[in-house]
Amino acid sequence: MQHQPLDVAIVGGGLVGSLLALHLGKKGHEVNLYEYREDIRTAELVIGRSINLALSARGRRALAEVGLEEALLDHGIPMSGRMLHDVNGNRKIVPYDGNTNQCIYSVGRKHLNEVLLNAAEKYPNIHLHFNHKLVSANLDEGNLSMVDPQTKEVKSARADLIVGCDGAYSAVRKEIVKRPRYDFSQTYIEHGYLELCIPPTADGKFAMPHNYLHIWPRGQFMMIALPNQDRTWTVTLFMPFTQFHSITDQERLIEFFRQYFPDAIELIGRERLIKDFFKTKPQSLVMIKCRPYNVGAKGLIIGDAAHAMVPFYGQGMNAGFEDCTVLTELFNQYGTDLTRILPEFSEKRWEDAHAICDLAMYNYIEMRDLVTKRSYLLRKKLDELLFWLLPNTWVPLYNSVSFSHMRYSKCIANRAWQDKILTRVLYGASFASIAAIGGLTYRHVTVGHLEQLSTAILSMFQLLKPKASV
């Protein structure tokens, strides 16, 4: 195997880019990290998405590999389940894992990025470059051209490996998309998001129980809230743009909240709700799928640059962090032989990335609508029972995605297998019940009675029947 240290250029100094710098810097490679923004650790205002992040098993493992898991868990706030708010203000708890009480952690995007950059700065072979915006790259030769957004000074660099970690609108990916026969799709959903805030109570406490992800599911739209270290809540309203555009003044806004989120008016505060709602425009949500992720043995994209997803499974960051784990494992296996590492990463990762993109879309429907259905709650209870009885055989979908390292594509295949088993069992139980009751009472039952019995059993079957797999 080749073991000569590489000169690596990482484009994008966000969460995935800074973590990958740590992974590769720890292995002794010379890493230059280029970020088009100023250093967020000294910036007064960070422009960009501030949706809270849900740290789960995949992200935790990638952080543990560079010695940062415990530091982030100490900062994060554990959330053991969802707390659902109905239109009357009543609340219901739905645990993520009713058997072992596993949890996900609410962490601040800015804090996590600062921790990663501070850790990277301690390595003498990791070099941080801010205000470096990529304008072009020759991924076959390993050449980059960048410009300082403020001074307009043009700079160039050369590397053995260029890795694009520059998000959903990746400049590195734009260079790859130009190539023939490249698979790429970009999908904007018809729903946008807008952030609000629930302040602490007058005595400085959380305004709601803080160890839960709070959800206001309303069918075609929803609102969620995640806890912050300063006792505030980051509240995110997701709904169709047409609905956002219909709220044109404060009277319509308050009327809308009184109808759908009456308890949130008091939690947020009437005046603050009005101010925050009209302060910014609702933002778009995009899903990116593409393949392959490499250009020969010199170019690669990971994280959102390779597989941006909607935020409803809380796996965007975790999937990007898992990219770092998978790539590091290939470096461990093949040394620095990029002719083997990069193509294998692409082949190994694209199917899982596409799978979690699809799961994230599905989970929006679950969070805004299905969580209120009896069929969903019954299925969840059944999954928990079977998981308790057969922990190595029957792993519920959410557990496999958030609390295991099972490949995302395997999570979907596992769920499809479970649906198939349950469908067969339910059909078998239905016909067995009809046969048993018919055998006992056929002399005393009319055709009308049998029809009523069949209808009742089929209704029960429809209630318990698993939802279509994604």
CB atoms within 10 A of CB 12: 28
- Which helix or strand (DSSP H or E) is residue 54 part of? strand 53-55
Which DSSP string corresponds to 195-257? EEEEPPPTTS--SS-SSSEEEEE-SS-EEEEEE-TTS-EEEEEEEEHHHHHH--SHHHHHHHH
Q: Are residues 349 and 384 in the same domain?
A: no
Residue 1 placed within a domain? no
Last residue of a domain, one of 314, 336, 362: 362
Of the candidates 331, 362, 393, which is a domain's last residue?
362
One domain, residues 310 and 225: yes
Q: Residue 224 and residue 195: Cα distance in Å, rounded?
A: 10
Domain that holds residue 37: 7-362
Q: Which residues of the chain have pLDDT under 50?
A: 47-49, 442, 450, 453, 456-458, 460-461, 463-470
352: left (phi over 0), alpha (psi -120 to 50) or beta: alpha
Judgement on whether residues 282 and 408 belong to the same structural domain of the protein: no
- Single residue among 362, 382, 413 that ends a domain in this structure: 362
Tell me: do 338 and 424 sit in the same domain.
no
Q: Do 215 and 266 fall within a single domain?
A: yes
pLDDT at 461: 46
In this structure, the answer to whether residues 349 and 383 fall within a common structural domain is: no
Is 469 within a domain?
no
The answer to whether residues 331 and 457 belong to one domain is no
Same domain for 116 and 136: yes
How many whole angstroms separate alpha carbon 137 and alpha carbon 146?
9
**Are 197 and 285 members of one domain?**
yes
Residue 290's SS3 state is strand
* Structural domains in the chain (count): 2
Q: How far is CA 323 from CA 163, 167, 310, 421, in A?
A: 12, 14, 17, 32
The pTM score is 0.89
CA atoms within 13 A on the CB side of 171: 19
pLDDT score for 465: 46
CA distances, 433 to each of 55, 125, 139, 451, 452 (Å): 46, 70, 65, 14, 13
Q: Say whether both 410 and 331 belong to one domain.
A: no
Interatomic CA distance for residues 127 and 438, integer angstroms: 78
- How far apart (Å, rounded) are the C-alpha atoms in residues 110 and 129? 18
Task: Please report the pLDDT score of residue 466 as a whole number.
Answer: 47
Position 393 in a domain: yes
- Indicate the helix (H) or strand (E) that contains 79: strand 77-79
The identity of residue 460, as a single letter, is: M
- Does any domain span residue 467? no
Residue 368 forms part of a structural domain: no
What are the Cα distances from residue 449, in Å, to 9, 119, 306, 339, 442? 75, 73, 59, 71, 10
- How far is the C-alpha of 83 from the C-alpha of 437, rounded, in Å? 41
255 shares its domain with 283: yes
How many Å separate Cα 68 from the centre of its chain? 20
Same domain, 293 and 387: no
Q: Is residue 156 part of a domain?
A: yes
CATH of the domain at 129: 3.50.50.60
| Token representation of residue 115 | 């921790």
Instruction: Give 48: exposed, middle or buried? Use CB within 10 Å, 0-12, 13-18, 19+.
Output: exposed
Phi, psi of 356 (to 5 degrees): -70, -30
In sequence order, the 6+-apart residues with CB closer than 8 A to the CB of 122 are none
User: Which tokens go with 290?
Assistant: 């593409």
